[in-house]
Structure 1
Amino acid sequence: MAASYTHQTAGKIVGGPHCTRELAAHLRLFGDIKSALIVTQPSMIRQGIVEELRRQLSAAGIATEIETGIKPEPTVQNVEQVYDRISGQAFDLYIGLGGGSVLDAVKLLSVLATNPASVSEMIGTDLVGQAGIPTVMIPTTSGTGSEVTPNAIVTLPEEQLKIGIVSRHLLPQLVLIDPVLTVGLPQPITASTGMDAFTHALESFISNKANPLSDMFALESIRLISRSIAEAYRDGSSVTARERMLVGSMYGGMALTSAGTAAVHALAYPLGGKFHIPHGVANSMLLPHVMEFNMDAIAEDRLACVAEAMGLQTGGTKAKTADRIVAQIRSWTKELHIPQNLHDYGVTERDVAPLAEAAAKVTRLLNNNPKQVFVQDMQALYHKLLP
């Protein structure tokens, strides 16, 4: 467990069904807001959610513009192209309405407006010089927890890798956690984003930087997601299950804020960067194999805590507890129909070595892993997904 630790998160969090209807009232904390940019996805427009927000803001005297140009797993170039398009307008507020890609991009658009640096120059930790335009985050998937983290992830096509930007200046001022917005999520997105959130919590709990604050959020995230992911997948209309997933995802984000994710994410980044495998799917594929690899380095009491939070039997040896955890993860991937074969995405045996070399560069996350992962270990882990 880390000798010292810090925790930082969003300025204000509002949750509950239909809490987005209260957005205008909560904007009072920003002072005099005259104009806002809503960055979102076309699906949110089709569902009428964007128009509902626009009417609410208009009634409060706030003019709005809409931007839908952020792509899934956005590249540096995509974010900067969108910024170039909007930079001629002075917005008092940026609102992110969507999944993790949208929320991450809004953070970056915000600081691009107030810093002379490019996105590429911000890559790393604490390289954003000053605060950006105030932001509001409204997640519509239960996966990344981006709404409460100081992180933004971008894709570097030239390196075929995804990489992080970490800064306190990326933290939003207001977050609205409205489970009703996630009711219409398709099953594949429910599955992949839900397992992504579970991975955040589990990796944070076993991280070398785990601490009392991250443990609290991680275990509650594991508990909520374990008891609701299958129900949310089977019955997407269950607001109760959706709320548990959304809060569990947020807690996972809070956990990783101070503890960080580890080898699963490090190995997943090249799969997204080179083969465009959705991040949650890549994490889900890798999670049982990386956990098996890590098990002998995880303390017995930590494993027992994870098993208990997952609702599993906790008696017996450390090995039996570890087996139960991995077995449950494998069971979920089958029940949620998450792919388990990299061949389905065009990955071949000859790709394994360059994938491992790319993953080895993600030292920010690999250093958090409870067990050292060498390049040959990474190759063996990828091979397990090439049956």
Structure 2
Amino acid sequence: MNHFYQFFTANHIISGAHSLDQLSEHLHLVKRKIDSALIVAQPALQRLGFIDTLEKQLSEKGIKTFTINHVMPEPTIQNIEDIYQDIADKEFDLLIGIGGGSVLDATKLLSVLKTNDYSIRDLLGGNQIEKEGIPTILIPSTSGTGSEVTPNSIVTVPEEELKVGIVSKYFLPKLVILDPMLTISLPKSITAATGMDAFTHSLESYISNKANPMSDMFALESIRLISSSILEAYHHGSSIEAREKMLLGSMYGGMALTSAGTAAVHALAYPLGGKFNIPHGVANSMLLPHVMAFNMDVITEKLVEVSKAMGIDQAEESPEKLAEKVIEQIAEWTKELNIPQNLKEYGVDEQDIPHLAESALKVTRLLNNNPKSLTIDQMEKIYRILLP
């Protein structure tokens, strides 16, 4: 455990069913005069009327709005920069991101691009964001990334066939709205993939080299909430109780990773998304049980605590058996959630394995966080498990 650790997150969080309807009452939390706002939206939320609700509230406050809805899933650098060019000559006092993790990440980037003389490639090269961006409000519509409370933004770099994270304290929003009503109509496949993504954030944060008392608290509560609601949310999507638990669990997972960080699962997942466009949550779900099995001998005691949070029966079981049950439960979830366990379904074959491992090896920020070092041969072996 580190001797020093820190925790920081969004300035203000409001949660509960229909909380989006109250957004205009909380605009004072932005702490600046707002005449115009950019809404970065998920197209599905426009079809469902949530963007109309948002625009109406802002209009009633005399705020002009401009809405864009063309953020790609797993957005590329070019996608974000194209959107920025569309708004470069427009002035906004506030940016509102409402959608999944890709939309929230894009909103963060657009916020700082408006106030800093950097391109996204400059930021990938290690340049630090110097100036605070335009204030943001982030409203997640999936229970997955926890991006609404993290200082991270992920972009795809096509020429490197890799997803890369940019980190800055200036990505944190002024206000977060957690309204489970936005997640009620999520397709089953997205509920499954994003839910397992959130679970991965929490489990990896709990076993990471940077885990600490603060991150552990959020990670275990996230694991408890997700474990008790992911199947209910998947099979009975209209359950507001299950959807709210998933949304809170996702947020707590984001808080955990902000302090402790993710590890080898994410490092191995990034090339799968970058080269084969495998959705991030799916890639994490496929890799999670196998990376945890690799780590098993050094995380057994931690997995015992995870087993308690997951509600696994503790009766007369050894620590090793309880740790195994955690991995077995994860594998059972992926089957019931119909998450693929075969990379061939996405066009991966044996000849791609060395390149995937070489790409993952570059993600040192996350590999160094794993409780057990991986060689390139061990990474290849994990990928090959998913090529039955």
Distance in 2 (CA, whole Å) between partners of 1:231 and 1:337 is: 14
Tell me which amino acid in the other structure corresponds to 1:248: G
C-alpha distance in 2, partners of 1:385/1:154?
25
Return structure 1 stretches of 4+ with deviation > 3 angstroms. Answer: none
Range moving further from structure 2, 346-355 or 306-315: 306-315
1:181 aligns with 2:185: no
Structure 2 match to 1:90: 91
Corresponding residue number in structure 1 for 2:7: 7
Instruction: State the alpha-carbon separation in 2 of the partners of residues 14 and 120 from structure 1.
Output: 34
Which ranges in structure 1 are unaligned for 5 or more consecutive residues? none
Contact 1:125 1:166 in 2 (8 A): no
- 1:26 alignment partner AA: H
Give 1:317 shift. 2.2
| Map 1:177-256 → 2, pairs under 5 A | 177-256=178-257
Q: Distance in 2 between matches of 1:230 and 1:125?
A: 40
Structure 2 partner of 1:370: 371
- Aligned-partner SS, 1:297: helix
CA distance in structure 1 between the partners assigned to 2:377 and 2:274 by the alignment: 20
Counterpart position of 1:54: 55
Rounded Cα–Cα distance in structure 2 between residues aligned with 1:242 and 1:179: 6
- Which runs of structure 2 are paired with 1:78-117 in the superposition (5 Å)? 78-117=79-118
Please state whether the residue corresponding to 2:159 is helix, strand or coil.
coil
Secondary structure of the equivalent of 1:298? Answer: helix
One-letter code aligned to 2:61: A
Shift of 1:144: 0.1
Once the two structures are TM-superposed, the CA of residue 86 in structure 1 deviates from its matched residue by 0.7
> Which residue of structure 2 lines up, in the alignment, with residue 35 of structure 1?
36
Cα drift, residue 376 of structure 1: 0.5
For 2:253 and 2:29, locate their aligned partners in 1 and report how far apart those are by CA, in whole Å. Answer: 26
Report the Cα offset of residue 28 of structure 1.
Answer: 1.2
Contact 1:184 1:236 in 2 (8 A): yes
3-state SS, counterpart of residue 160 of structure 2: coil
Determine if the alignment matches structure 1 residue 65 to structure 2 residue 66.
yes
Q: Distance in 1 between matches of 2:306 and 2:43?
A: 38
- Give the structure-1-normalised TM-score: 0.98
Q: 1:342 to 1:44 in 2, by over 3 A?
A: same
> Which residue of structure 2 lines up, in the alignment, with residue 128 of structure 1?
129
* Secondary structure of the corresponding residue to residue 250 of structure 2: helix
Q: Which whole-Å CA distance do the structure 1 matches of 2:67 and 2:150 have between them?
A: 24
After superposition, the C-alpha distances for 1:293-324 in whole angstroms (9 at most, x for unaligned) are: 01101152x12110000001234223211210
**Whole-Å separation in 2 of the counterparts to 1:54 and 1:188:** 29
| Per-residue Cα deviation, 1:214-246 (whole angstroms, up to 9, x for no partner) | 000000000000000000000000000000000
**Stretch moving more, 196-205 or 120-129:** 120-129
Deviates more, 1:20-29 or 1:271-280: 20-29
Pairs within 5 Å for 1:182-331: 182-300=183-301, 302-314=302-314, 315-331=316-332
Q: CA deviation at 1:126?
A: 7.2
- Offset, 1:123: 2.2
Fraction of identical pairs, as percent:
62
Q: Deviations over 1:77-128 (max 9, x none)?
A: 1101100111110000000000000000000000000000111111277711
CA distance, structure 2, for counterparts of residue 169 and residue 61 of structure 1:
27
Equivalent position SS for 2:65? strand
Contact 1:205 1:215 in 2 (8 A): yes
Q: Is the 8 A contact 2:296 2:323 kept in 1?
A: yes
In the aligned structure 2, how far is the partner of 1:349 from the partner of 1:24?
A: 53
C-alpha distance in structure 2 between counterparts of 1:59 and 1:303, whole Å: 51
More displaced, 340-349 or 40-49? Answer: 40-49
Q: What root-mean-square deviation, in Å, do the aligned CA atoms of Structure 1 and Structure 2 show?
A: 0.9
CA distance in 1, matches of 2:172, 2:304: 33
CA distance in 2: counterparts of 1:382 and 1:322, whole angstroms: 22
Helix, strand or coil: the match of 1:96?
strand
Distance 1:228 1:384, change over 3 A: same
Write the letter of the residue equivalent to 1:307. Answer: S
Residues 126 and 166, structure 1, Cα contact 8 Å, conserved in 2: no
The alignment partner of 2:82 has SS state of helix
Work out the CA distance in 2 between the residues paired with 1:309 and 1:58: 45
SS at match of 1:256: helix
Q: Is the 8 A contact 1:139 1:177 kept in 2?
A: yes
- What SS is found at the alignment partner of 2:14? strand
- Conserved 8 A contact 1:160-1:270: yes
Paired positions, count: 386
Q: Is the 8 A contact 2:300 2:323 kept in 1?
A: no
Is the 1:183–1:238 contact (alpha carbons within 8 Å) kept by the matching residues of 2?
yes
Distance (Å, rounded) in 1 between the aligned partners of 2:6 and 2:92: 32
CA contact (8 A) 2:94 2:134 kept: yes
Give the Cα–Cα distance (whole angstroms) in 2 for the partners of residues 73 and 127 of structure 1: 23
Within 1, Cα distance between the matches of 2:61 and 2:49?
A: 19
Looking at structure 2, the residues matched to 312 and 249 of structure 1 have their Cα atoms a distance apart, in angstroms, of: 21
Residue type at the aligned position of 1:134:
P
